[in-house]
Amino acid sequence: MTMACGESFRRPVARARSTLGIMAAGAAWRMFGTRRSAEILLDAMSGGNEQHRMLAGMSLVKAGRRSFELIEHKIAAGEAAPPVVRLLPDIDDRKSREILGKLACGEHGELRDTAIQCIDMLDRIDTVEKDDR
């Protein structure tokens, strides 16, 4: 590939991620909250590699409030993918009900269906917990 003077070669944003890269992004997100690490984790959550989705999801859940606010912002901006929305109940089940309720009433197709599934899951968990008391 020939490049003119001053041109730079950039890899596409949607390039394949390594497992180690996702683990490093997860650590950076939990420790420093860097924007780039968040983008890497969100990209991995939307990708086709099951292991990468799992690692990214665990990192986002471990970061707690920081991740909840990130996902909440992505939902408000209309940029959240269903796998990311599914993390909300794992991060904060009480706060997630309000956000999921709004999505369930919306017209966002796949996000709406995901929100309904999450609310159903939370309801089943609540029922089991009440029965155990």
**pTM as predicted:** 0.82
Range of the domain at 98: 84-133
Domain membership of residue 121 (yes or no) is yes
Number of domains composing the chain = 2
Q: Tell me how far apart the alpha carbons of residues 110 and 19 are, in angstroms, rounded to a whole number.
A: 27
Tokens of 58: 């665990």
Given this model, what pLDDT does residue 16 score?
A: 54
Domain membership of residue 72 (yes or no) is no
Domain membership of residue 59 (yes or no) is yes
Looking at the structure, do residues 89 and 132 belong to the same domain, yes or no? yes
Given this model, what pLDDT does residue 3 score?
A: 46
DSSP state of 17: P
Given this model, what pLDDT does residue 20 score?
A: 96
Looking at the structure, do residues 89 and 123 belong to the same domain, yes or no? yes
Q: Is 14 helix (H, G, I), strand (E, B) or coil?
A: coil
Looking at the structure, do residues 52 and 89 belong to the same domain, yes or no? no
Looking at the structure, do residues 55 and 93 belong to the same domain, yes or no? no
Domain membership of residue 126 (yes or no) is yes
What number of helices (H) and strands (E) belong to the chain?
8, 0
pLDDT tens for the chain, residues 1 to 133? 444 444 444 444 444 579 999 999 999 999 999 999 999 999 999 999 999 999 999 999 999 999 999 999 999 999 999 999 999 999 998 999 999 999 999 886 999 999 999 999 999 999 988 888 7
Domain membership of residue 120 (yes or no) is yes
Looking at the structure, do residues 88 and 59 belong to the same domain, yes or no? no
